[in-house]
Structures are given as structure tokens and as C-alpha cells.
Structure 1
Amino acid sequence: MEPNRSRVGDLRGSAALPHGFVGAHALQAVRAVLAEMGTSPEEVCRNAAIDLRVPYEMEAVSFASLGRLMAAAADRIGCGHLGLLVGQRTDLLSCGPLGTLVRHSRTIDEALGALETHYVLLSRGATIERSTDGLVATVTYAPYDPDAAGIAHHCERALGALTGVMRSLCGADWCPDEVWLPRLAPADPSPYASYFRAPVRFSQEITALVFPARLLRRPILGADPVLRAAAEHGIRCAKAAIPFDLSHEVRRCVRSRATRSRIGKDEIAQALALNPRTLCRRLRAGGTTFRSITNQTRLGIAKQLLADTTMGLAEISAVLEFSEPAAFTHAFRRWTGMAPSAWRQDHRTTRPPN
């Protein structure tokens, strides 16, 4: 993206999104894709009995409604990679002040850090997180409700958009080393190979882009400190309008850690600058508990991996940090009243269309 000041996005503060909502740019991208294919969200909503307002003037759409819309649209037009097409239509200009901050950060690491820290301005239905392990860097996308309708489309929408962001910063020829998606392999994987230009691993436990860690140190050409400062000011104003919700913040922290480390109350409390006892007391006052949030998160991930991937029960058990598959089966039966194998049989996602 050129560092032209007329092309870096609206520097005014964005409206605070409600919990579980996504910025309207995602809905507009769905509209554009469907229009190209000769249909409309209105038609899809009518046929699928989805209650969703779809004018361009909407500032946000619920994460759940957008997922149902994408799932219904994919079935309607026979396009299993609809989420990928939607993600390709997201660019930094559509991200307001956050897009400007990302574009004018000093390095790739700083840009991804800004996206990770302030992603709440674009979506309150998922988190983005970067990490490094030796020579390898990973950017992951983690939805709060991983078993929600259309979640596979959400995941590939996010990776499509993240890849576009990376190409705007690194050049149009950039491609990741690998792409990981927690969904069944489509009958025709060529659209993914064509867009990512990298190996795409389906039936994975997380949604992620993988690339060399050295890339994080790369400076961003044309970064403008004046525009960066203006974007930072707009973001501070926008985030100041977001009311603090402890249960939501705990859920966000738990979800970001759920597939890479054991979820500890002390660790989450430290991340939120709270004493563990204070954390538990405030959660109880809000009508929930730390254990309830962690169990709901683990159950959601388990359902997603059972329905949308070919991972075995032992693999899912290990991902969720159970001591053994039998412990996972016992917990899943306690949560749902069914064994995971029986639940998978009833909810197995069929192979997506081409």
C-alpha cells in the first residue's frame, strides 16, 4: 500500500463494538462476493430463515449472524471457500485507524502487535495473537465460540485478510511458509493453494499463518510517524469508549491460551493485573466462575475439532491438555451427556463443496 496520506483510512475514532460483534466491513465483503455470483444476502437470509438486517449503513453485525450468513451462502451458491473470498476483500483501508496504525508501524512485529492489541476495534468475537518459537513465527486467530455456525468460514476469512495485510506490508509476492485451518479438506483445495501460494494444512487444531521469525524485524517502507501518531490517538479515543467487562476479558485470555498451554487462574489474573482471589470474587459477582469459563471454552474447541476436522480423540485430548483420552471422554460426557465419538457421528461436517 502506498504511503499516500489520502489512502490510509479514516483517522476518526471508531464506534465501540458490542460483545460478540464484528465490524460492518465483513458484512460488506460478503455482499460484494455474493453480488459477483449473482445472489444477495437478502435472498440467502430469506431462504435460510436468518433474521439479519443487511443495509450498508450497519456499523456492526453479530459474529453469530455473520457465520450463519456465510454458511447459508456457501450452501446456496455451492462455494466451499466463500470465507476465503470474503477475507480477500479486507484491506487496511477498511480497518479505519487500526489499519493506519498497522500500515505506518516501524516494523512487521510492531504492526502485528498493534493488530493483536487493538483487534477488539474490528471484532469482539475472536482474538489474534503472534508468537515465536525459535526461527518460526506464528499468527493465530481464535474465535471465542469455536463451535458456532459458519466457524470454518470465519477462520479462513481471517487468514485471507491477514495474508492480505502481510502482502500490503511486505509486498504482493509475500507468502507464508504454511497455512493451518481447523476444517475438513475441501474437494477442490486449489483456491487455497492459489491464494496463499503455500502448503495449506487442513484438520489442524488452530487457525494460523506460519512464516520465518526473521520477518518480524523487517522495517516497513514508507511508514509515516505523523500518521502513526494520529492513528494512535484515534484508537485511544475508540478504546476509551469500550466498557470493561471482566468475564469477557477472562474469556478472551482463556481462549488465546486454550490450545497452547494449560489454562491457569493465576496466569489469567496476572494478565489482567488482578489478584487471583479478586478475579474469582468479581466473576462470581457477575454470575459466573473461572471454571465455568474455562470449561465452556474447552467444550467449544472440542466440538469444533470433532465436527470440522479428522483429528483423533487422543489428539484432541492432548490439544486441550487432558491427562489422557479417557479423562477427555469423561469430561465431554459430563458436559454434553454424550461420548465424544457419538457426538462426532451426530454432528460430523460433510466435505465442503468445491
Structure 2
Amino acid sequence: MSPVDSTASLSDPGRGFARKERATPVRRGTPSPAGAQWSIDQAGMVRARTFGKFEDVVTGLGANASALLRESPIDATALQDENGALPFLDVAQLLEHAATELACPDFGMRLAAAQAMQGPAKTLGPIGIAIRNAPTLREALQYFSDHVHAYSSAARLCMEQLPDDGRIFMLFENVPATPAIQVQATEHALALMHHLVNAISKGRIRSPEIWFSHEPRAPLSVYRANFNATVRFGQSMNGLFFEDRDLDLPLPERDAQLYEIATSYVDQRFPAIPRGLATRVRVIITHLLAEGSCTHEHVAARLSLHPRTLQRRLRDEGESFESIKDQVRREVALRHLGQANVSLVRMTEILGYSETSVLSRSCHRWFSASPRQLRKEQSANAGAASPGPRESIR
């Protein structure tokens, strides 16, 4: 939980693809027919253009991008197709593999920096145009949050004013949660958002604090250089903070006509996802877990609701406070089980439990295994996808 300029030990740089022999990987990705409009018709997919600078970054590091891609399940043609879609988990694993093979623990952040130079429209497509031309940063980020599935059906964004803070937190999650292979993808996504805010505000607005649920992979000075902000690790969630007053500043050089055209296009093809009270409750619970004050009454107070009203409204959405709290704990536990340098005692604190025995009982209930068994399985699964015969990537 230390800021980026404090002392912290670096974690294992990740395993990438395991090194067991296997058959040639099945190539995946959905290249689109010439002239076709991009769309996502299944869960867990991401826009191929979001990783369009991958080969340039690899080449810039003096390596062979084609060799890396041949070791992955991703078809090189699909990666280059701006209108195509890729399985998110395959992309996440490719980023981890590249970081490991190239001894480049900040690969995800490097990729984001390279993409930032080409502008939001090139990286994000029509939704990037909409964000760039929104009236204010608040409207830009809210629009991105409501239509993030135009960028990735594996991503989840949510804006929420955190209790006892006053700042706005932009929560970022990838679904499904496979923490062992998501560090580079998460750092890439948050760095990309950081660069996006800097670009559309012409440097007037930035996030003063970044949260990562994992431990640092790169030297702390690298995070300092990329974000120019306080970066905290081992947190209960991933995301960026913004000062509330900054969000209402008008975006310079916006084009109102372009905004109308872009939002009309996106709204028609990727309608906003309705967000009920349960989504807000999830964010507040995630924030309050480690503080030991995550009760039904505390969350209701943060929402200015009577506890019975909160219970009734959640029931109307088919949810309950306890079920959401349990889901959040399960997801947070799953993320941290993939990080060997996060002790079980620390995990117990993050989840708001009083002792490790409660964590053990919960893991048996969620996963039918102990935390230590799960940690071993996560470690093994991180290297489950292995390359075929090796060739030089340099």
C-alpha cells in the first residue's frame, strides 16, 4: 500500500507461456471481411486495434515479433485487422510472454505509450472520437464507462465517488478474472487511460493517484515516469483517481459536431449498459473491505440510503448486500492468490477478515480448496499455455 516513491520489493516478473513441448497452437481471432463494421458478439473479446502497436514495440526492443506471435494462439493477420476482435485471455497471455521473453517488465506501459502517440481515435476507434470531443472530462469518462464494450467485452469500468474521500475513482476490471496473466494487460489499460486523459485535456488534467491490485513488476522509477503520480500496489482494486473539480473543466479543441456523429454511431451499435445500484455497491464494498467497516449500514450511509431501502432496491435487482460482498471477496481473493509475494495474512487483511482461518473456510466454500492449494494451481495454470518448438526472438 506504499506510494510509488517508497521502498517496495519487486515481484516475480511472470511466467508467460510455459516451456513444455506441445503441438502448434490453434490460431484464434476473428478477422473481419473487408469493409465490415467491427462488433463483439461474444464475451471476453477485445478490439484488435487496441494492440496495433504490439509489433512495433517488440521490434523497437530488438526482437522478432513474428516469432513471438508464432508461439501464441493469436493469428498475426487478426492482430493487424483494426476491425477484428481477439480473445482477451490470449492477448493478456501474449503481453505477459513478451514481457518475460524480452526482459521488459514494463512492456504493457510501453505499448500504451506507443499507442498514445497516434491519438485516441486511432487506438479506440469511434468511441475514441466521442471521448475526445465530449464537453467535459466527466462526460467523456462516463461515456467511456457506459460504452466500454465498444472497446472490449472483457473490460468493466465504473465511476464512483468514494466515501470519506471526495475524489472520483474510475474502477477498471477485466472479466473473467485470471490474475496470473493480467498484470501487463492491466498496466497497459490504466496507462492507456492515463495518456488518453492527458491527450484530450491537453495536459491540464491528470490522475493524481493510481491503484493496482498486484505488486510492482518494474522498478518503481518506471511507474513514476509513466504516470507522474502516486502509484499504490497491493490494493483491493485497479483504477485511477480524479479530483472532482477537474472533471467539469471543458475539454479544449472539442468539436461538437464530431461528438454528435460519433456518439450517434456508438449508441446505435453499442447501446449503453444499464448500471443499477448493485454496481455502485460493488465499488464501495471493494473500497471498504480492507478498512474493516464494510457493513450493510456503512454502505447504505455512503449512498445516503436507509439500510432497508438499500436492501429493497438490491432485491429489486435480484441482488443482496451479502451476496455482492461475497462475490467481491471471491474476486479479490482470486486476484491475490495469483501473486506469490502477497502473504495469506495480507490477503486476510485486504478481504476484511479477522483471521486466516476465515479466509481458509471461504476458499473451501468458493473453490473447494485451501488457499495454498489454490496458489499452487494458479502458479501451474500461469504456464499452462506453452509454445511449440523454440526459435530465436532476437
Q: TM-score, normalised by structure 1?
A: 0.75
Alignment counterpart, residue 176 of structure 2, candidates 145, 148, 160:
145
1:324 deviates by: 5.6
Counterpart residue number, 1:6:
none
Counterpart residue number, 1:129:
158
Alignment counterpart, residue 116 of structure 1, candidates 106, 127, 145:
145
Task: Summarize deviations over 1:77-129 as a string: whole Å, max 9, x none.
Answer: 01111111122215411222211111111111111101111111001112112
Please state which structure has a larger fraction of its residues in helix: 1
Alignment counterpart, residue 335 of structure 1, candidates 348, 366, 379:
366
Please report the RMSD computed on the Cα atoms of aligned residues, expressed in angstroms. 3.7
Contact 1:67 1:148 in 2 (8 A): no
Distance change >3 Å, CA 301–CA 310, structure 1 → 2: same
- Aligned residue type for 1:42: S
Alignment counterpart, residue 78 of structure 1, candidates 100, 103, 109:
103
Counterpart residue number, 2:120:
92
- Aligned residue type for 1:332: C
In the alignment, is residue 52 of structure 1 matched against residue 74 of structure 2? yes
Counterpart residue number, 1:102:
131
- Aligned residue type for 1:303: L
In the alignment, is residue 185 of structure 1 matched against residue 213 of structure 2? no
1:302 deviates by: 1.1
Task: Summarize deviations over 1:265-318 as a string: whole Å, max 9, x none.
Answer: x979968xx9456x89xxxxxxxxx97x98776434312213237545455345
Q: Point out 4+ residue stretches in structure 1 off by more than 6 angstroms.
A: 249-255, 261-264, 266-269, 293-297
User: Which consecutive unaligned segments of at least 5 residues does structure 1 have?
Assistant: 1-11, 281-289, 350-354
| Cα distance in 2 for residues equivalent to 1:309 and 1:268 | 37
User: Which consecutive unaligned segments of at least 5 residues does structure 2 have?
Assistant: 1-35, 289-293, 297-308, 381-394
Counterpart residue number, 1:170:
201
- Aligned residue type for 1:166: V
What is the percentage of aligned positions where both structures have the same residue? 20
User: Is the deviation greater in 24-33 or in 69-78?
Assistant: 24-33
Q: SS where residue 259 of structure 1 aligns?
A: helix
- Aligned residue type for 2:237: I
| Cα distance in 2 for residues equivalent to 1:268 and 1:46 | 52
- Aligned residue type for 2:55: R
- Aligned residue type for 1:140: L
- Alignment coverage as a number of residue pairs: 317
In the alignment, is residue 157 of structure 1 matched against residue 185 of structure 2? no
Task: Summarize deviations over 1:24-59 as a string: whole Å, max 9, x none.
Answer: 122313222112223344312434xx3211211261
In the alignment, is residue 259 of structure 1 matched against residue 286 of structure 2? yes
Higher relative contact order (CA 8 A, sep 6+): 2
Q: TM-score, normalised by structure 2?
A: 0.68
Contact 1:258 1:298 in 2 (8 A): no
Contact 1:145 1:297 in 2 (8 A): no
Counterpart residue number, 2:247:
216
Counterpart residue number, 1:68:
93
| Cα distance in 2 for residues equivalent to 1:329 and 1:146 | 20
User: Is the deviation greater in 316-325 or in 70-79?
Assistant: 316-325
Distance change >3 Å, CA 251–CA 130, structure 1 → 2: closer
Contact 2:124 2:151 in 1 (8 A): yes
1:327 deviates by: 2.8
Distance change >3 Å, CA 13–CA 109, structure 1 → 2: farther
